[in-house]
Amino acid sequence: MRTAKSSTIRILATLVLGLATGIALAQDAPKGDAERAKSKNSMCIGCHGIPGYRTAFPKVYHVPKIGGQSPGYIMKALEEYKAGERSHPSMLAVARSLSAQDMADLAAYYGGAAQ
């Protein structure tokens, strides 16, 4: 009886702790880390790393330069692509694959003076 009770308390404590951590994570907007983005930007370089790059397929379009934009702007743009508020097939696919943390890191990287 005693052990059953204490294990129930332990399970409850774990749940409460998990919930608190979840809330803390949800409230804290992820902090961007430009260093971390260096392992994530390989898929952006193909399009955004080439000055004046224009794709040829499915139609010719200009790829905007993102280096030096403000981190807030980049973050917002990525969120909008992901949410479908901005529509562009390539960026929609890219943004969908990114977590909020990835976006913050990439925004810090491209928006940072180091770039």
Q: Write the CB contacts of 40 (distance below 8 Å, at least 6 apart in sequence).
A: 98, 102, 105, 106
Whether 105 and 68 have beta carbons less than 8 Å apart is answered as: no
Q: Which of 44, 71, 82, 108 binds ligand HEC (CB under 6 A)?
A: 44
Q: Which is nearer to ligand HEC, 27 or 87 (CB)?
A: 87
Q: Which is nearer to ligand HEC, 1 or 57 (CB)?
A: 57
How far apart are CB 51 and ligand HEC at their closest, in Å? 14
Q: Is 88 in the site for ligand HEC (CB under 6 A)?
A: yes
